[in-house]
Amino acid sequence: MTKPKHATPTTETQTAKKPTGRPPGSPNVRETAVAVPSRCNACGSTERGPYLDKAELDFGGVDSQGKPFTHIVRRRVRCESCGQMRIDVTRENRV
């Protein structure tokens, strides 16, 4: 009379944890500087020449959309279509 031995329960869950890709919070997008394309306020064209100079302000804050920024960059540029000079101001967020 041999009692059936209690088989050792194999409740060891075999959840082979495979790596879930990149850890949460790691950035996969490089910072985009401008959301709205700059536009000539004289003729409305978005065509523009090369930026002539650039003035950077080490000034941080939060913009009107709640996005943080660390620098304010002003670039002087000439409208390609009518020749009007303007200054494009962008807020950039970098480390």
Smallest gap from Cβ 84 to Zn ion, in A, equals 5
Smallest gap from Cβ 43 to Zn ion, in A, equals 3
- Give the interface with Zn ion as residue ranges (CB under 5 A): 40, 42-43, 45, 79, 81-82, 84
Is 71 or 78 the residue whose CB approaches Zn ion more closely?
78
Is 31 or 45 the residue whose CB approaches Zn ion more closely?
45
Q: Which among 41, 45, 46 has a CA at the least distance from the CA of 86?
A: 41
Residue type for 53, please?
A: D
Is 40 or 69 the residue whose CB approaches Zn ion more closely?
40
- 95/92 Cα distance (integer angstroms): 10
Smallest gap from Cβ 50 to Zn ion, in A, equals 15
